[in-house]
Amino acid sequence: MNVSKVGRRGQIAIPRMIRQELNLQEGDRLAFIRRGDEVILQPLKHTLSDFRGSIPVSEPQDFEAIRHLVMEGRAYRTMTDDA
């Protein structure tokens, strides 16, 4: 089991073994997903902005609503994968 301590400003250090296994680098983003009384850290290697313009659309898109749907989908998949 890897353990980390929460600092006074809420910061935590991710143990080296976990960073290496997940190939986490400085500046990478992590999602904190609550599942009951547990928290899952999900590396976010891509954002919707990375794909902006890759698919032609005929009208303006609500990226906040799309981002919210994607995050809900990821959280649901994470919960059901671990069940």
82 confidence band (pLDDT: 50, 70, 90): low
57 confidence band (pLDDT: 50, 70, 90): confident
Say whether 60 sits in a helix, a strand or coil. Answer: coil
Q: What proportion of the chain, given as a percentage, has pLDDT over 90?
A: 37
29-35/38-44 β-pairing: antiparallel
Average pLDDT (76-83) is 76
CB atoms within 10 A of CB 18: 12
> How far is the C-alpha of 59 from the C-alpha of 66, rounded, in Å?
14
Q: What is the pTM of this model?
A: 0.51
At residue 83, the pLDDT reads 54
